[in-house]
């Protein structure tokens, strides 16, 4: 059985939500953590919690994943300091909703910069510099929204669909380097993400039966480490829905319009 004890794990988006809970779960299991996000003070809070609760080894690396120069700099530092990373968990991301016709295109570009291009860049650099010739694992946090697109989430769904497609391709390419690739696709998760994505709380209320906690997603993500797992789709009802949507698109469109539409 795979153990994360003493494995070096780099988590982006670690200052809150899913990334923060993944950090706590891995700290409890004895992993060596590298925590990245834009907010240094929040990263330090998570670090202090990991040390106080679990006596964990934690390195804080503040980082905006959309800043390619900063990503290259941090990768270079980690290469010199640690020489390798066993697991990369790409959890950084955000979303906004709104009718696409009214969407500010700058917001679309920013979302792709973080959710897709930033994820792709850091993955390439880590796989090239820090995962060569060692068994390793890359886990990309995407979303069921990448499989079932809903009204007023066109850009966000597009970014997550891109992450899923990207992950599927590199999973084949990285086999020769002994790097596993897994995509985690949660349904709605009750985090600060929804402060921007769903400011009035109406969507979250509507999909309440499907809403997950960050801790639930973190547990399933951690459980996937070291396993040859293509995807983790949660909750089960959403996984079944995504399969149904693919097999019966007309019925799927009807359900999306009448169940998941954010009015």
Q: Which two tokens stand for residue 212?
A: 């997950």
Ranges of beta strands (E only) in the chain are: 8-12, 32-36, 57-60, 87-90, 136-141, 179-186, 231-234
As a whole number of angstroms, the distance between CA 119 and CA 163 comes to 8
**ω into 235 cis (within 30 of 0):** yes
DSSP secondary structure code for residue 169 in this structure = H
**118 token code pair:** 């930033």
Check if the beta carbon of residue 172 is closer than 8 Å to that of residue 122: no
- Quick one: CA torsion of 13, 14, 19, 22, rounded to 10 degrees? 150
Choose, from 2, 24, 54, 156, the residue flagged as catalytic. 156
- What does the block give as tokens for 246? 């693919």
Is position 156 annotated as part of the catalytic site? yes
- Catalytic machinery residues: 156
């Amino acid at each position: 059985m795979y153990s994360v004890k003493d494995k070096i794990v780099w988590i982006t988006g670690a200052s809150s939500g899913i990334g923060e809970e993944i950090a706590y779960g891995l700290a409890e299991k004895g992993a060596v953590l590298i925590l990245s996000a834009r907010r240094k003070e929040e990263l330090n809070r998570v670090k202090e919690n990991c040390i106080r609760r679990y006596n964990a080894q934690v390195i804080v690396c503040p980082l905006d994943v959309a800043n390619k120069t900063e990503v290259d700099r941090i990768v270079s530092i980690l290469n010199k300091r640690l020489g390798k990373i066993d697991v990369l968990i790409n959890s950084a991301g955000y979303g906004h909703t709104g009718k696409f016709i009214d969407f500010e295109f700058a917001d679309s570009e920013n979302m792709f910069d973080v959710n897709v291009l930033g994820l792709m860049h850091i993955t390439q650099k880590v796989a090239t510099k820090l995962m060569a010739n060692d068994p390793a694992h890359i886990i990309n946090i995407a979303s069921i929204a990448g499989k079932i697109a809903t009204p007023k989430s066109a850009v966000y769904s597009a970014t997550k669909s891109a992450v899923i497609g990207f992950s599927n391709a590199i999973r084949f390419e990285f086999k020769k380097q002994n790097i596993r690739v897994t995509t985690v696709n949660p349904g709605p998760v009750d985090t600060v993400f929804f402060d921007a994505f769903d400011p009035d709380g109406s969507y979250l209320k509507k999909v309440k039966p499907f809403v997950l906690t960050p801790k639930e997603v973190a547990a399933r993500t951690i459980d996937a480490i070291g396993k040859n797992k293509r995807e983790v789709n949660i909750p089960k009802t959403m996984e079944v829905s995504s399969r149904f949507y693919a097999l019966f698109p007309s019925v799927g469109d009807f359900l999306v319009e009448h169940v998941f539409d954010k009015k």
